[in-house]
Amino acid sequence: MAQPWHRGKWQTVRKAILKRDNHTCQIRGPQCTTHATHVDHILSPLRGGSWYGAHNLRASCPPCNLTRPTHKPGTRRKTKPSRHW
Ligand SMILES: [Zn+2]
């Protein structure tokens, strides 16, 4: 579900992050041995995080990316953010 305004650039950034992190899932770290194919925003762009900043991106595998807790202490979301992949 790529959004038109970042199609292309996102693919480039995504590949760079996966390469940087050696296709290793960064969410559960060494405990996760699943091949990372997703790139996760550490701080959601919907909450002010950078879309393309490498410091805000990490490689993740789909299971970790989709099941990680989205609520940080002290924060609440009423609606789920839309995924962009
Ligand atoms: Zn993982």
For residue 59, what are the β-bridge partners?
39
Tell me the pLDDT of the chain (85 aa) as tens digits.
545 556 789 999 999 999 999 999 999 988 999 999 999 999 999 999 999 999 999 999 999 988 866 545 444 455 555 665 5
- Exposure string (b/e) for 15-51, b if CB count within 10 Å is 16 or more? eebbeebeebbbbeeeebeeebebbbbeeeeeeeeee
Rounded to the nearest angstrom, the distance between the alpha carbon of 80 and the centre of ligand 1 is 21
Return the structure tokens found at 55. Answer: 């410091």
pLDDT of residue 5: 57
Distance of CA 27 to the CA centre of its chain: 9
pLDDT of residue 67: 82
Rounded to the nearest angstrom, the distance between the alpha carbon of 30 and the centre of ligand 1 is 9
Rounded to the nearest angstrom, the distance between the alpha carbon of 20 and the centre of ligand 1 is 16
pTM value is 0.70
Domain ranges of the chain: 19-65
pLDDT of residue 74: 46
